[in-house]
Every structure is written in structure tokens, then in C-alpha cells.
A and B are shown apart, each in its own frame.
Chain A
Amino acid sequence: MINRFILGLTSGQQVGLLFVLVFGLLLIGSIVGFARSIREPGDDPAGQARRANLKNFNSVLRTSWFMVAVFWVGWASGERVATALFGIVSFFALREFITLSPTRRGDHRSLVLAFFVVLPVQFWLVATEHFDLFTVFIPVYVFLAIPVVSALADDPQRFLERNAKLQWGIMVCVYGMSHVPALLLLDFPDWDSDKNAFLVFFLVFVVQGCMVVQHAASRKLKRAPSAPHISQSFNWASWAIGVGVASFLGGVFSAITPFKPGQALAMAFIACVAGSLGHLVMKALKRDRGVTNWAGDVASVTGASGLLDRVDALCFAAPVFFHSVRWYFDL
């Protein structure tokens, strides 16, 4: 019955229904949050824990509202606007990354190049569907251009480190992020490309699902961390649980994608492995800078909102997901 109803809808209505469902869930979450906040927690340890818990819950809720709203605006106003929106997110993520990187005066021109040339060009390439150039523009051309500009600034001190950091920032925040809107523009055979919003939803859903399950599992299991100097919470057991659960969810949700269940499972698995391990790599980068998250204690200094903390897994998962989809389906 329900199945037939959903299949009878046009693709636009189907995506609309998805948003109604997601907004409904968020609304329920917000009502729960509000109900829990009515009673003032006491000052005893249990009350303190409850307060911290509530604060955490509310911050996750706020981020989710924000992200869903961005997706909704992007979907409602077309692919071009969606691409521009992801471009803005990428801009703020890169701003956060550069703030915590040790740049010197000699890097100024390279930074101008990164923010005001590389970033817009990359997203313009996505919007105009120049997929061949778009996949090599940053790894090939920008990779060479940035150090040339830096070298011309005539400052040899820590040259390799400064350039490596900048290249990394561009790679993760711009290159990775630009692959998310690129998914909207793929043309699958026997699949209405209006429904590509589902593909983006699928990717975000499995990757974030993987992170949440992994986080919850590591709290419950309390295993010894596998790389304690990098992350106190990462261990292989909870990682496997996170990836496993999220891949399974991906398989279940294959109906909203152009994939068959087995394919969806494999694609979700690839995205989750890339995303969760990428998140670990970003943690290592943060440790190198002596902070525990991109906002963290430095938030007070820099005003960083910790945007990068939320999107880094997506930034690593998106290019791998995009490339394997294109390769497997020969698009």
C-alpha cells in the first residue's frame, strides 16, 4: 500500500516527502529537547551530567537543523544554488583550517590564490559539469601553482611544512567538499537525475550514521584506544561496528538510490571506511596543532565554530564515493 503510494509520486514529490520526514524527525527531537529543558537540573553531580548531556544534545540538534536547512534550500532552488551553498561551507571550513595553520607573511599571495581563485574555480567546474578537469584541477594544477607562488615570496623558513599544510587544507576543504554537489550532476541510466538529491542524502546519512554509531560504540565498549596519542576514542572494534551498521543501513536504503541492495551496501561501506579513517587523520592534524577539536579551547580565541569537525568525514568520503560510483557504473 505505502509502497505503491510512494512509487506513484513524481520524483520531485518523493524528495519532498523525504524532507518532510527529516524535518518531522528534527521537530520531534526539538520538542523532546525543549521538554527536557523545562525542569532545571540540580547542582549535584547527576544534575551536572544531565546538563552537559542536554547541552550536547542541543548542539547536535542545532547542527542538524542547520545542515538539513542547507540541503533543503539547495534542493528547492536547483543544482546551481546547491553547488554555491556547498562552496560557502567549503569557504568557512578552509577559513577554520587556515586559522590554525602556521602561515607566514610570505604565504599571503598563496592564500589569496586558494580562497579567491582555486575555490571559486573548483565549484564553477562542478556547476558546469566539467568532470574531467574538475577531478584533476586541484591535485595536478593547483598542486604546482601554490608552491610556485610561495617560492616567489622569497621566504625559505619551514617552506615544506607551510606549503604542505596549505595543500592539505585545499585538498580536504575544497576538493573533498566539492564532490558532494558533484553527485547531484551525475547521470545514471534508468534513473531520473532529479532524484540525485537522494544520492547526496544517502552519502551524508551513511557517513554521519557511521560516525554516530562508532562514537556510541566506543563509549559503551570502553576498549583501549588503538592510537591513544591521536584519539582517545578510536579503536578497531567500535570502528568495525560503526562501519558495519552504517553499511547495513546503506543496503536497507538502496531503494532511494540508483543502486541494487548489494551495490548500495558496497558503496556505503567504501564511503564509511573513507569517512571514518579520514576523520582520524584530521584528528592527527589537530593534535599536531595542539588542539583537540577545531573549535575546542581555541574557539575562545578564534571564534571557530567547529564546522570542520562536523564535515571532515564527509570531505574524505565524498571523493572516494564519487569516483567509485563513476568507475563502477562507467558514467
Chain B
Amino acid sequence: MSWFLLGLIRVLTGAQARWYGCPPKAEQRIYFANHQSHADLVMIWAALPKELRGITRAIAAKDYWTKTPFKQWITTAVFNVIYVDRAKTGEQDPLEPLIEALSHGDSVILFPEGTRGNAEEPQSFKAGLYNLALKFPNVVLVPAWINNVQRVMPKGEVVPVPILCSVTFGAPLQLREGEDRRVFLDRARAAVIALRDV
């Protein structure tokens, strides 16, 4: 199934990965990217080399990806995602499942905007990335820009259209000593945007 899916994604989008600033490497990483479509996590999954795909888990919105048995099956069995609740449910920390995955040694794919945007530039980043960086200082933070995916399958459509897409990975970022939360998040967002024009 994953083999079939990979072939399909390659035919439709090319699924090209461009590594600028860091090589694909099996170290523990947090990839953070812009978010324009539900297909983003599929795209970044397909763009990663085979060796990294198994140890890298994307985060996915629980309400959307568990709506139908098929969606649930594909995100669990093929992508092995980390479900995150978008609706705040009282005292439970939404980062809990992420922290668990990271302490198991997995790499994660994060969309710090929280929701899908449809403007040219990503919305401002939420605090999750900062909190994780603080908690796991040894995990490498890699920015990524996903290009064109929103054209493949816009909101509300079911049939994807073949358009070439790519994922650009940039130079790793580091949380500086005592850096302010907002400053760091803006810096991370700028790093993602900068990859658009590489």
C-alpha cells in the first residue's frame, strides 16, 4: 500500500525533496513547515528518503484524519502520524502526544501555524515549537517549505490534479540562550519563508 501510494504521489506531484542547508540524516529532528493543505503531511512523507520515513512521524489533526475508517487506517498504518486535538479539551496539554513521541526518539513533522492558511505567507507561529525546543534542546530544528500542494487538491475537492510540488529543507535553527518566545517564533517563521525563494 505504501509503495502504491508513493508511486501515485510521484506521478501526480513529482514529490521532490531539495536539501539546502542540511543533508537528510538519521538524527532526531523536528521538521517545521508551512501548512496550506491536508495533503501537506502526505507530501513531506513522500519527499523524505525511505530510511527517514520510518522514524519520522507527522502530526495530524485528530478530527479530520479520524473521520472515516479509511482516513484513520491510512494515517495509522501507513503514515504512523501523531494525532493532535485541535479543540482544546480542558487541562490536557495538546503537546502531550508530541512529547511522548520525542522522548521515544522519533523525529516529528510540525505545522506551527496550527491551522491551514490560504494567504501568500504563513500565519504567525504558535508557541508549541518554542516549548518543544525548550524541552528537547538536543533535537535539531529543521525548517521546511512545501510548495504548490494547495494547487494539487484545494479545500473541498476530492480528485487531485497533477502539478509538480517540492519540499525544501533549510539550515537547522537553534534556540538561543534566554531567547524570548516571540522573537524565536518569528525567527523560525522567517526561516521557513526564506526557503520559498531558494
Contacts and interface: CB of A to CB of B under 8 A. Distances in A.
Interface of A: 91, 94-96, 98-99, 103, 105, 108-109, 111-112, 115-116, 300-304
A99 B163 contact: yes
A105 B151 CA distance: 7
B154 A98 contact: no
B15 to A, nearest CB: 8
A304 B164 contact: yes
A71 B28 CA distance: 47
Nearest to B154: A105
Nearest to A94: B162
A302 B162 contact: no
Given A95-B162, A95-B163, A300 B157 contact: no
Contacts of B126: none
Contacts of B165: 302-303
* Chain B interface, DSSP helix/strand/loop, else mixed: loop
Interface residues of B, number: 18
A181 to B, nearest CB: 20
Nearest to A103: B151
Interface of B: 14-16, 18, 147-148, 151, 154-155, 157, 159, 161-166, 198
A146 to B, nearest CB: 14
Given A115-B161, A115-B162, A302-B16, 7 more contacts: A96-B164, A99-B148, A108-B161, A109-B157, A300-B198, A302-B166, A303-B15
Contacts of B157: 108-109
Contact of B164 (A91, A99, A103): A99
- Nearest 3 interchain pairs by C-beta: A303-B16, A303-B14, A302-B164
Nearest to A99: B164
A112 B161 contact: yes
A105 B147 CA distance: 15
Nearest to A101: B163
Given A300-B198, A301-B147, A303-B14, A95 B159 contact: no
Nearest to A112: B159
B154 A108 contact: yes
18 contacts: A94-B162, A99-B148, A99-B163, A103-B151, A108-B154, A112-B159, A115-B161, A115-B162, A300-B166, A301-B166, A302-B14, A302-B147, A302-B165, A302-B166, A303-B15, A303-B164, A303-B165, A303-B166
A111 B161 contact: yes
Contacts of A108: 154, 157, 161
A108 B150 CA distance: 11
Nearest to B147: A301
Contacts of A112: 159, 161
B198 to A, nearest CB: 7
Contacts of A103: 151
Contacts of A302: 14, 16, 147-148, 164-166
Residue of A96, A98, A108, A300 ringed by the most chain B CB atoms within 10 A: A108
B162 A300 contact: no
Contacts of A116: 159
Nearest to B161: A111
B36 to A, nearest CB: 12
Contacts of B159: 112, 116
A116 B157 CA distance: 15
Contacts of A91: 162
A103 B198 CA distance: 22
A101 to B, nearest CB: 9
Contacts of A304: 14, 164
Nearest to A300: B18
Contacts of B161: 98, 108, 111-112, 115
Given A108-B154, A108-B157, A301-B147, A98 B14 contact: no
Contacts of A99: 148, 163-164
A144 to B, nearest CB: 21
B119 to A, nearest CB: 14
A130 to B, nearest CB: 26
A96 B148 CA distance: 13
Contacts of A95: 162-164
B162 A98 contact: yes
Residue of A96, A98, A111, A301 ringed by the most chain B CB atoms within 10 A: A301
Contacts of A98: 161-163
A303 B92 CA distance: 42
